[in-house]
Structure 1
């Protein structure tokens, strides 16, 4: 097995890591009437009903367009705080070029991919450990 894509010398990265982000709409929570003039933004807790699917920024890139669970072939995820839908904004990372990964993350930062409405960012990847013949899926 070649040394490229190895993690801790024993685990081979399979495919590429993927970041998936879910966010909620502004005004997805209630502000008391007496504070509505002062508090103009209110981002509530995540629910699919509150999910913001609006494209991010002005660039037409896959990572700035909402992708449905069907397109991503992804299921919902049950966390401690909420159950998160299988869709979202997705950025695939390079599996063999750290500089490319850093450049992609820099583009996300420049375009405010993560903002006040962001409720969760998943990082998913798969590993194979030949020593124990084990596949490991990490979320």
Structure 2
């Protein structure tokens, strides 16, 4: 009877045990940009090359870029002049590991800030945020 009690106690203890499936590690992704300058002209396209770096063993695919504008107006396009695709705000678009071509077009004069957030689609790594501040002149 005592053995049965201990067996039930061990089974209950093992059944109530839970493991965390949160596998986020210290692996980071880092987004770097070549800034076009502190002063930009309105309605003129500027190349905004981005580079996504990681120190993890994760795949080279499956990363996203989200684009926000806290102040000012402008457009972000993915690709070069010949084949550019518009990027909507707060909508993730695929971001390759390594270097990629992007273009930014400011639309209104004044102080402006754009926020670029690089993240992994599955969320294994912590996202990286890049804030670019500049002044747009007419």
| Range class of TM-score, shorter chain | under 0.3
TM-score for the superposition, normalised by structure 1:
0.27
Q: TM-score, normalised by structure 2?
A: 0.27
Larger radius of gyration: 2
Greater strand percent: which structure? Answer: 2
More helix by share: 1
